[in-house]
Amino acid sequence: MYQVLYRKWRPKKFADVSGQPQVTVTLKNELKSGRIAHAYLFTGSRGTGKTTCAKILAKAVNCLHPVDGEPCGECEICRGVEDGSVMDVVEIDAASNNGVENIRTLREEANFTPAAAKYRVYIIDEVHMLSAGAFNALLKTLEEPPAHVIFILATTEVHKIPATILSRCQRFDFHRIAPQDIADRLTYISEQENAKLDPQAALLIARLADGALRDALSILDQCFGRSKEVTEQVVVETAGLVGRESLFDLADAVKEEDSSKALAIVDRLYRSSKDMARLSEELASHFRGMMLIKTMKDARSILAVPESEFERLEKQALSTPLSTILHAMSTLQDALEKMYRGEDRRMTFEMAMLRLCAPQLDSSADAILRRVEALEQGIPRKQPAPAGRVEKPDAGAAEEKSADKTRAAPPKAEKEPEKPGTDFEQLQREAQKLEEWPEILGIIRTLSPSAGAAFNGSSAYISGGYVLIDAPNRIAFQLLRRADQRDHMRQAIQQVTGKSYRLGPYRKPEKKDGGEDPLAQLAKDAEAEGIKVIKK
């Protein structure tokens, strides 16, 4: 009969246990020195090795030929514990044996000496499921147990265990296993199973397992059922994942506030039979990665992703405001809760994406914070276009008009006069020098080094709602024709001045040297007398 991987490759000794050195090293040292306690408590999340270490400990204390604190695995006791034939090692499921009568029976059996082994070992799994009466019945036995009895309690919810029980046990906390440790173990098992596991696929499985090696082995087992050459795509298809590309596209749609794009992606994924709850979890995890990159000096050690994906995620995170990321995480968590309460999953997710792409429709605190930050930074809010109509291009200055023809029309307050030539000349005449320009250039250099270099030696003037820039070269104005460079410039100006301005070129007024040129005046007088003047 086929045996699943997590059972087949369950560790037989402490050295095989992955990612729990704080537990295995201490237990081995206690066994080598003969300092064996009468009660142990193993706590931690699922799949981290609690029951496995309990069975190894049960073998080690009874092993006939222990080696450096490890069970030999060859003697009759070790083999008997492994196949369940030694009756002195008892494993109890507290979820189904949680009454007072069950514990009383255990207490009566504990009084008998072991039949074959040195110790009677009771492994009580999910001990937090015991009733209050059962805990009270167990308390006296834990306090004064027979010399030949060892209790090993295992739980995922240690906060539910009474303090009187906790104080009578040696407590060992099992941590979530690091993704790289899980990936290494999966690679080793794949080699032993004559299969090929791609390193990126191993990391993806490790990330999905969330610190539980047993879950990772279950996913790997499913992948082997599909193919003996496990690639990242095989994992995606086996686990029913959305795929990283769709997550990046959805995050871009949220950043750009493009609800049409987001809903189109959701529809495509839904038609591909992707679960909307799983999609919410993966997208929330994607935004969590962006949050870590945005707030930490180096998030590489936390995010178990390939280098190429990390670079792309880092670029997306740095271009997305933190308020947008937090709003997305909060909204997706709320959507997940609604899905698990039984609401329509597709509709709930679509509503969540619509609120993320149009924060003005969301009254939550995170959405309001996002809108306030956008107002403070002077970022123009994209307005949804009515059905069947096409938004008109911006009617801004000539430099901006040629670069960004598809941008929505700005608010009326920012619209330029109908005769830009005449009014622009007036703006030039009323311009006042912007004294904070050097400080603004310093910020621009951090946002865009190329723009900072191009505007070196430039000056700027304020006139009305404009900042007019006098640059020594044409490269600077070529850069300003790009939408991203204009956004950097406006952001820097708004950060220093506290106001949002439009951009334009500054043309220095022509110098007048004491009146009109005499030759020009002479030509004008000649023409007045009817004399034809030939101009060269």
Domain end position, chosen among 221, 239, 257: 239
| Section 112-131 average pLDDT | 90
- Over the stretch 321-332, which tens digit does the pLDDT of each residue have? 888 999 999 999
Residues 206 and 343 in one domain: no
Task: Tell whether the model's pLDDT for residue 189 goes beyond 70.
Answer: yes
Cα separation, 134 vs 185, whole angstroms: 39
Residues 60 and 165 in one domain: yes
Q: Give the model's pLDDT for residue 531.
A: 54
Amino acid at 308: S
| Length of the chain measured in residues | 536
For the packed helices 483-497 and 365-377, what is the interaxial angle rounded to 10 degrees? 90
How many helices and strands in the chain, by DSSP H and E? 25, 11
Of residues 397 and 69, which shows the higher confidence score?
A: 69
Residues 158 and 23 in one domain: yes
Looking at the 3D structure of the chain, how many domains does it have? 4
Residues 450 and 368 in one domain: no
Q: Is residue 434 part of a domain?
A: yes
CA distances from 57 to 54, 89, 121, 148 (A): 5, 11, 9, 15
Domain end position, chosen among 124, 157, 174: 174
Residue 535: which pLDDT band, with cuts at 50, 70 and 90? Answer: low
Most confident residue range from 162-176, 457-471, 508-522: 162-176
Q: Give the model's pLDDT for residue 359.
A: 87
Task: Tell whether the model's pLDDT for residue 381 goes beyond 90.
Answer: no
Residues 189 and 136 in one domain: no
CATH number reported for the structural domain that contains residue 207 in this entry = 1.10.8.60
- Over the stretch 38-96, which tens digit does the pLDDT of each residue have? 999 999 998 999 999 999 999 999 999 988 889 998 899 999 988 888 888 999 988 88
Q: Give the model's pLDDT for residue 418.
A: 36
Residues 15 and 135 in one domain: yes
Closest among 456, 379, 457 to 414, alpha carbons compared: 379
- Percent with pLDDT over 70 in the chain: 85
Q: Which domain holds residue 149?
A: 5-174
Of residues 436 and 246, which shows the higher confidence score?
A: 246
- Over the stretch 249-307, which tens digit does the pLDDT of each residue have? 999 999 998 999 999 999 999 988 888 998 999 999 999 999 999 888 888 878 877 77
Residues 134 and 234 in one domain: no
Q: Is residue 84 part of a domain?
A: yes
Q: Give the model's pLDDT for residue 57.
A: 94
Identify whether the C-beta of residue 225 lies closer than 8 Å to the C-beta of residue 316. no
Closest among 165, 168, 150, 173 to 55, alpha carbons compared: 150
Whether the model pTM is above 0.75 = no
Within a 13 Å sphere around the CA of 271, how many CA atoms are in the beta-carbon half?
6
Residues 30 and 43 in one domain: yes
- Chain centroid to CA 76: 49
CATH number reported for the structural domain that contains residue 471 in this entry = 3.30.300.180
Q: Is residue 90 part of a domain?
A: yes
Residues 113 and 216 in one domain: no
Q: Which positions ≥6 away from 101 have C-beta within 8 Å? A: none
Backbone angles phi, psi at 92, to 5 degrees: -115, 135
Domain end position, chosen among 174, 190, 224: 174
Q: Is residue 414 part of a domain?
A: no
Residues 54 and 169 in one domain: yes
Average pLDDT, the chain: 82
Q: Give the model's pLDDT for residue 284.
A: 93
> Taking the chain, what is the end-to-end CA distance rounded to the nearest angstrom?
104
Q: Give the model's pLDDT for residue 518.
A: 56
Q: Give the model's pLDDT for residue 528.
A: 54
Helix (H, G, I), strand (E, B) or coil at 170: strand
Residue 190: which pLDDT band, with cuts at 50, 70 and 90? Answer: very high
Residues 28 and 155 in one domain: yes
CATH number reported for the structural domain that contains residue 116 in this entry = 3.40.50.300
Q: Is residue 485 part of a domain?
A: yes
Q: Is residue 514 part of a domain?
A: no
Q: Is residue 472 part of a domain?
A: yes
Q: Which positions ≥6 away from 70 have C-beta within 8 Å? A: 13, 14, 15, 28, 60
| Tokens representing residue 277 in the block | 């709850």
Task: Tell whether the model's pLDDT for residue 530 goes beyond 70.
Answer: no
CA distances from 63 to 10, 55, 80, 267, 509 (A): 18, 12, 10, 60, 98
Residues 11 and 160 in one domain: yes
Q: Is residue 19 part of a domain?
A: yes
CATH number reported for the structural domain that contains residue 311 in this entry = 1.20.272
Q: What is the DSSP letter of 70?
A: B
Task: Tell whether the model's pLDDT for residue 131 goes beyond 70.
Answer: yes
- Percent with pLDDT over 90 in the chain: 36
